[in-house]
Amino acid sequence: MKFRSMSENIAGYAFISPFIIGFLAFTVIPMAISLYLSFTNYDLFSTPKWIGLDNYIEMFTGDEKFWHSLQVTFTYVLAGVPLRLAFALCVAMLLNRASKGVGIYRTLFYLPSIIGGSVAVAIMWRNIFGNDGTINALLFFMGIDKKILWYQDPTSALWTLILLSIWQFGSSMLIFLAGLKNIPPTYYEAASVDGANGLQQFFKITLPQLSPIIFFNLVMQTISAFMTFTPAYIISKGEGGPLDGTLLYSLYLFQKAFNFFQMGYASAMAWVMLLIVGLLTLILFKTSSYWVHYESKED
Amino acid sequence: MKLVQETTKSEISEPMTIKSPRFKPKRIVYHALTGGLAILMLYPIIWLLMSSFKESSQVFITAHSLIPDPFILSNYVQGWEGIAGQSFGVFIKNSLIIVGLSTIGAVISSACIAYGFARIQFKGKAFWFACMMVTMMLPHEVVMIPQYILFSKIGWLNSFKPIVVPQFFGHAFFIFLMVQFIRTIPVELDEAARIDGCGRFSIFFRIILPLIVPALATSAIFSFYWKWEDLINPVLYLNKAEMYPVSLALKLFLDTETASNWGAMFAMSVVSLLPVVLIFFLFQKYIVEGISTSGLK
């Protein structure tokens, strides 16, 4: 018996050994280094100089750009994620029916998400909202004879990024669609016998039944939205402009690290980001008991 | 909200629509609404495609129109000549090397690890599994800088190694997906094989691997997408144009953007999207399953 469990242990560790090695080499050790660097002044070429909490103090008290990038990122997350999920849910409900063509619609609606992270799409978006781009051309066509300079104004530039993220609602839509299919049709039948209208059924059946999935989507999308990099980097050509209007947090961190070589400061920013993401997740989990409905509780 | 109401109602009246033709107008409204929305969604992509057949000087003058006049292919010829002295074929070759090696590494290693987690009872398993789940939520930025420093210290800058090698140590999302998949396979199969004299490795290779092919396919497809689209790692680690993958080459096009090469930039953007779209249409089933079961992407 002892021999058996010994061999189980050896076999188990043999199979997962790639993970353990990778976890130590590419996650644990780098995180330890990152934490150390966050307390230093380091430009990649000279030796790191210990400066205690100075990076963090500078960040919170002396760096207006840091606060600005936080504000931009929170606007991006708080506007983009709920709109994206609402849109995804609407379209999922539209597609949740047994009808010809639904499969094709599903494919078409998902297409933007599958290509969405690519540089090509960011280039496309940049040009669509360009001064002479499609949007302005179509607005002109509809009789609005005033060019909107999307990328000259910080607010509208950020909104083009938010629109780009809403445009990629596909994966949330697919998850909602799978969830909608799991709601027993008898619930709706019973509700309509009792005289509930469509709106009542949506709020009393669909939303509560879907709430675990909405919660899952909300957590995952919030985390990934907070880390968005490529579209802001491409659309603003790495600048985060105009007037830092699209300076998302990860873009500012990248600039600090690889344009200004303030590796210590950028590491401190990374740890603040980790704390914020962790805190956001924690808040979402804490609030979940008030609105997420788990079926098994009642069974 | 109107939209929502509309759907819930039509869902309920679904059985009736089949019986009586009286409800046909509703179906027309449905398809007009959904189809219209689909066209709106796809409009930017169609615009990009059509613009790639327009003359560079015409792209923004005729931005309102989808029909290229004149219809030209020279953008593709000009774009394929590439940038910074490299043909676009070189960028595609680089991307394929990076994507190919990364995908092979990620799928094989993740399958091994997933088997260990799903089927073997060993001490500390819960701990390591929790570690793996945590890495899924970790912002890449926290490890990006030290990784860059480490890779530069061991002389890996300007090679594919920093991008490819980490993939050979498993990818948390894929491991999770495969563990879920292996758990649906009856343990009796393993036991029967063991009685027939199979060791752990032959159970893994002969029983488990063939049965989790759908999960392997899903992982391979997502690995392809992530690495094909990846921009930040090539930006960090590659600085010679001859090593650039497609994503970075497109950024180079954008950096040297002039009124005269819009057409070429659009054409190569379309080329870069072709494999992505093609794989999507060929393997849609695996993608949808992957997302619905594990929330991938």
What per-residue confidence (pLDDT) applies to A295? Answer: 62
Residue A115 to residue B143, Cβ atoms within 8 A: no
Q: With CA atoms as reference, report the closest residue to A170 among A233, A227, A115.
A: A115
What ipTM did this prediction achieve? 0.82
Find out whether A97 and B14 touch, Cβ atoms under 8 Å. Answer: yes
**Which residue does chain A place closest to B172, by CA atoms?**
A19
Å between B188 CA and nearest CA of chain A: 18
CA atoms of B87 and B77, how far apart (whole Å): 11
User: Which SS3 state, helix, strand or coil, does residue A41 take?
Assistant: strand
Q: Which of B5, B33, B38 sits opposite A108 (nearest CB)?
A: B38
What per-residue confidence (pLDDT) applies to B259? Answer: 63
Per-residue pLDDT of A243-279, as tens digits, reads 888 899 999 999 999 899 999 999 999 999 999 988 9
Task: Provide the residue type at A247 as one letter.
Answer: L
Q: With CA atoms as reference, report the closest residue to B220 among B169, B270, B268, B286.
A: B286
Å between A182 CA and nearest CA of chain B: 12
pLDDT band at B23 (very low <50, low <70, confident <90, very high): low
3-state secondary structure A141-195: HCCCCCCCCCCCCHHHHHHHHHHHHHHCCHHHHHHHHHHHHCCCHHHHHHHHHCC
- Partner A, chain B 56-115, Cβ-Cβ below 8 Å: 59-61, 63-64, 109, 112-113, 115
Report yes or no: A37 at the B interface, CB cutoff 8 Å: yes
Interface test with A, best of B2, B6, B8 (most A CBs within 10 A): B8
**Which residue does chain A place closest to B292, by CA atoms?**
A175
In chain A, which stretches have pLDDT less than 50?
Answer: 1, 297-299
pTM, entire model? 0.84
The pLDDT of residue B293 is above 80:
no
Q: Which of B51, B120, B236 sits opposite A8 (nearest CB)?
A: B120
What per-residue confidence (pLDDT) applies to A18? Answer: 93
CA atoms of B93 and B77, how far apart (whole Å): 18
